[in-house]
Amino acid sequence: RTVHNFGPSKGSESNATLYYDKDKRMESYIGEPFSLLPIGIPATSSQSTYTDETGSYFSLNDVCRQGNGKFADKWGWVTVAKYGGSESFRGEVVDSWLFASQKANLTLFSVGDEPRLYSYSVIIEVIPGKPAEVINSTEIYINITVGTPPEDKLVKPKTCTEATPLCNSTSEEKVIARQDHYLAHPPGLYNISNQDTADVLGDTVFTCMDVSKGGTKMDHYGVISHYVISVDTRYGEYALCNGYPGVCVGYEDFHVGREASIGAKRPYGGQCCDNDDLGSWFSLPSKGRCDSMSALEEGECTWFVEKRVKTINITCPFDTHKMLQACTLRETPIFSTAQAIFNQAFASDDESQGGCKDLGGPPAAEIH
């Protein structure tokens, strides 16, 4: 068992079982369900990771995506580590081993060949397209079993190497829906190909989380835009898209991706579920973009921007109208006060009525 930073936010804890086979060059962390209530979501999630010689994969509620890196000997660094002496840890005398470099600080507590604690601070690019970040984690090992791990616990799921099935994939007719989508983005960058959007509740959840932890500043998200988009509702796996131009992590590169907010449902993160209670997130692959409504109707593509409705400064709802404070309320339905502020910001241009000024932007034909 290990206490590992698998939770939905930095500083969270959860339990997982580590399976490690140096000879087969494979390892996995099979996570136990953890609650999302601390961030206001009445649900649980399960996250696991798989690493082998083909790559590193992270799976959340049945949706698996490839990250960076491949299998490396977890303890290989100990051969060049500095011995830190012995100390007491959880009622045992342990040996400590220390390693420090410009990109990593590692600590191991061990009793003989068995680990008791592994703590690390490393600078890595976790998700392609996102800047490198500092990852801090501490793993505490209990109930250690020495021997060959079960094969089925080491092998990554099928969804780690191919896209999940489409929603309504057996239907003879596709269904096109006209939807309201919202997107926080840098000022002046209106293109939404290879970007992630959300419905109104989904973007309330996203912006509440992102503004609260400083992510919008880091990503230079200074504005929020409202678009009307028609989509082919044979949804695929939701992709994690970041950067401008966007880089997406996922296996679906044509159909619109969909999941519940933060992927908090099963199966497949809520890809085909009714997500009215949590909101939905969408990914818009560049290969699925339509130049015309007729192209969407003919099945040549999967999404078409009909209109940019309004663009507002993100500070207007969050600072002027106190949405940031509303994000901390734990309510049923979730984020209802924050969503009401978000809605009114787009419904009116009058700040005295809770509205926000439209900053303008390009017509739909110029949005790619």
| Predicted confidence (pLDDT) per residue in 263-305, tens digit | 999 999 999 999 999 999 999 999 999 999 999 999 999 999 9
Provide the pLDDT confidence category of residue 319 given band limits of 50, 70 and 90: very high
CA angle, 275 then 128 then 232, to 5°:
35
Residue 161 near residue 207, CB atoms below 8 Å: no
Q: At residue 127, does pLDDT exceed 80?
A: no
User: Out of 6-10, 72-76, 175-179, which region has the weakest mean confidence (pLDDT)?
Assistant: 6-10
**pLDDT for 327 beyond 50:** yes
Q: Which residue has the higher pLDDT, 36 or 1?
A: 36
Q: Give the range among 110-124, 134-148, 160-174, 199-213 with minimum mean pLDDT.
A: 160-174
pLDDT band at 10 (very low <50, low <70, confident <90, very high): very low
Q: Which of the four pLDDT bands, split at 50, 70 and 90, describes residue 8?
A: very low
* Pick from 271, 366, 364, 365: nearest CA to 309: 364
Question: Hey, what are 138's tokens?
Answer: 């501490």
| More reliable by pLDDT, 309 or 125 | 309
> Which among 113, 106, 104, 114 is positioned nearest to 84, based on CA atoms?
106
Question: How far is Cα 316 from Cα 88, in angstroms, rounded to an integer?
Answer: 53
Query: Which pLDDT score is estimated for 172?
Result: 66
**Is the model's pLDDT at 363 over the cut of 80?**
yes
Confidence band, pLDDT 50/70/90 cuts, at residue 3: very low
Average pLDDT over residues 109-135: 81
Residue located via tokens 């409504």: 293
Which one is predicted more confidently, 242 or 83? 83
- Distance in angstroms (rounded) separating the CA atoms of residues 276 and 245: 30
pTM over 0.85, yes/no: yes
C-alpha 356/C-alpha 311 separation (Å) is 9
- Contact between 92 and 109 under an 8 Å Cβ cutoff? The reply is no
Computed over every residue of the chain, the mean pLDDT equals 91
Position 135 scores a pLDDT of 81
Q: Is the pLDDT of residue 242 over 90?
A: no
Choose among 48, 63, 70, 59: nearest CA to 4: 48
pLDDT band at 129 (very low <50, low <70, confident <90, very high): low
Measured CA to CA, the distance from residue 249 to residue 100 in angstroms comes to 31
Closest by Cα among 7, 139, 138 to 60: 7
Report the pLDDT value the prediction gives residue 295, as an integer from 0 to 100: 96
- Whether pLDDT at 29 is above 90: yes
With 80 as the cut, is the pLDDT of residue 13 above it? no
The predicted structure's pLDDT at residue 131: 67
